[in-house]
Structure formats: C-alpha cells, structure tokens
Amino acid sequence: MKLVYFAWIKDRIGLAEEEVELPAGIITVKDLLRWLRGRGAHYEAALQAPEVIRVAIDQEHADHSDPISGAREIALFPPMTGG
C-alpha cells in the first residue's frame, strides 16, 4: 500500500511517500495511524496528535473509522489551508 504525506507531516516523517506492507489486524484508518506511530521517533513526532490528522483514501476524504481494506493510496495531511 502506498502512503503519501503532506505539509508538516511530510516534514516530520522526512518522507513524501512510501510503500508499506501492513501486518494483519490493521482494519481502519485509526489502526493504521496507531501502527505508524510505533515505527519510530519521526512518525511519533508527526502523528502524536492523531485527532488533527486528516486522511484521504484513494484521493477522497475519509474518517478515522473508515476501513482501509483495498485502498491503493492513503494520504495523511494536516487541516487544509488553501483557497
């Protein structure tokens, strides 16, 4: 599965995107965020306040409770500031 990061989440993780193999038991966005935080200090710094993290599954906004099964691309980003 492809993960893509934007803005300060990208800065803190130090990557714009990566391919990951998810372990069994990762069902929802929330599970994914918890698993990512355990991958090291950079991830912990980026995701320490998961409630502010916005998520898109295959380029559509998603909730933290949404299942991620079948997703090709999941994006994590802070609240948007365009317009």
Can you give the binding site for another protein, defined by CB under 8 A?
4, 6-8, 56, 59-61, 75, 77-83
- Least distance to another protein from the beta carbon of 67, Å? 19
- Least distance to another protein from the beta carbon of 8, Å? 5
Q: Is the dihedral of CA 44, 45, 48, 51 positive or negative?
A: negative
Pairing assessment for the beta strands 60-62 and 2-5 based on DSSP bridges: unpaired
Q: Which is nearer to another protein, 4 or 27 (CB)?
A: 4
Q: Which is nearer to another protein, 27 or 54 (CB)?
A: 54
Q: Which is nearer to another protein, 6 or 27 (CB)?
A: 6
Q: In what order do the strands lie in the sheet with 60-62?
A: 17-19, 2-5, 73-77, 54-57, 60-62
